Structure 1
Amino acid sequence: MGTLAFEKNKNRRVGAYLTDDAKIHQINKRYLKHDTATDVIAFWFEGTLLTEKERNFLGDIVASVETAKRVAKEMKITFKEELARYLVHGTLHLLGYDDKKPKNKKVMRCRQERIVKRLCTAAER
């Protein structure tokens, strides 16, 4: 994924799962105790790491395609750009970025948008 290259983590890996609002709502409720659909959720890989391949796996990202389509239409941007935004956001969380505090949120959002812009520009070539 491009985010890992931009963040100088080329050897790291993430899993990405695309789903709909109903399924992400179910996942959000079960694992995070939030009874609502959301755009993206990131799950860090935890456990005893035995191999180099496992050490390089950061975790999984679950993104709602349904939400991405809806938001893209509302924002008058492409679906591809909005979905990229969700995947970049999730990857940044797996790399340790936090958006709970306003200062951290600003840093993360700035980094996210810079990467999304680069990815979308590269995809147009």
Structure 2
Amino acid sequence: MTDQVVAIDPVHTFIADTVKTNDVVLFMKGTPDAPRCGFSSLAVQILDHVGATFVGVDILQDEALREGIKAYTDWPTIPQLYVKGEFVGGSDIVREMFNAGELQTLMVEKGVPLGQD
């Protein structure tokens, strides 16, 4: 047996705990106050615009987290948005949902309070 089979992956445990204990989580490059890529910046702007309180997790601080989040969702790109524990998608999907009004609807349906812009 390999160590990976025997041990529980601490990165996946961190990710699962983070998305379970926060209504809205954005795994991103940089922080909400200082995004380090255009896609992360766009996702932050959209979440700020709809007034969603969210937790930003900087994947650039830890290589294991950077690779772990991609494996966790089987989604190859960052940022990744979670609402009430459910993976929503990356920057393009978040933008498309926002433009169609679907992101706001999803958050309201899941009981996420939205502020006014």
Q: What TM-score results when the alignment is normalised by the length of structure 2?
A: 0.29
Instruction: Flag the structure with higher helix content.
Output: 1
Relative contact order (C-alpha < 8 Å, sep 6+): which is higher? Answer: 2
